[in-house]
Amino acid sequence: MAKIVWIASYPRSGNTWMRFLLANLLYGPLKSSAELDKKIPAIHRGINGKHLLGNQKLLVKTHWSYSPTLPLREDTIGVIYILRHPIDVLASNLQYYLVRSPAFEALGTEEARREATRRWIDEYIERGGSSRAFEFDFGGWNENVASWTGDPLPYPRLVLKYEDLKAAPTERMFDVARFLGINATETRIADAVARSSFKAMRALEEEEIARRERGIFFNDTVEASVQLGGRFVRRGEVGGQETLLTPAQRAAANARFGAAMARFGYAAKTGQALPATGR
């Protein structure tokens, strides 16, 4: 049975970026996003018996919270947990789940879209995460983060802040390589970082959309939103979301996520809100 190392995170925290970095480091240049799913599968889709056979180390993506009933837990040997500021996570989920949906575009007017955005943000803050995340049993941001980073786990873990990875990807990938026992040279890591840049991933996404090539970026479930301009790879911003929330929403978000934010050194978001449609 394969030995599992989880690549875990709350949705829209940089999990796919980390998978690109690791796949480009371990297996050489990726030709497609479908190849990424074969090399480093997601437990939620695409994992099969071929992945699990043998005694090799297998990296697996998950957005599930950790629990004693986690599938494959008895064959787990480690976890890399990717942590991102909860307001940036909210903003990225807003774009992914609401703004790129045909139903949002069908609202027709900017006023209607602003109201839909406001309601979506209010519900996200009240629940502590997106409705889609709860539908897939990923839970809320607080609970997801706490499950992987709070109490001791029965195997080693590396908690990696998205912001640190964005600021110094080569240095942080050395940390990841050491955690995984990979003897990687600076050149190999630098090459993997370059091949996994947001510019490179976005170019691959556009190529696959143009070819209608099935994979992470284009498939039956997202085709309608893709035709409206929705994209999986965005800008990967750190901060810059202060104007997305009204003062009341910011206060509610800081109250909802504040304890975990303080634990990991995240400052409360401030700034004057502008009329937002999440675009």
What are the boundaries of each domain within the chain?
3-263
- CA 244 to mean position of chain CA atoms: 20
Query: What is the architecture, at CATH level 2, of domain 3-263?
Result: 3-Layer(aba) Sandwich (3.40)
What is the CB-side half-sphere exposure of residue 233 using CA atoms within 13 A? 22
**Is the pTM of the predicted complex or chain greater than 0.75?**
yes
Instruction: Let me know: does 80 contact 5? Beta carbons within 8 Å.
Output: yes
Q: Which residues of 64-76 are buried (b: 16+ CB within 10 A; e: fewer)?
A: bbbeeebebeeeb
The per-residue pLDDT string of the chain (279 residues; one tens digit each, 9 = 90 and over) reads 788 999 999 999 999 999 999 999 999 888 887 888 889 999 987 676 666 766 778 999 999 999 999 988 889 999 999 999 999 999 988 887 776 676 776 787 888 888 989 999 999 999 999 998 999 999 999 999 999 999 899 999 999 999 999 999 999 999 999 999 999 999 999 999 999 988 888 887 887 777 676 766 666 666 656 665 566 666 555 665 667 899 999 999 999 999 999 999 997 755 544 434 444
- CA 129 to mean position of chain CA atoms: 13
Q: Which residues of 95-107 are buried (b: 16+ CB within 10 A; e: fewer)?
A: bbbbbbbeebbee
Beta strand residue intervals within the chain, DSSP E: 3-9, 57-62, 76-83, 157-161
Tokens of 254: 């800081």
Tokens of 30: 């990726």
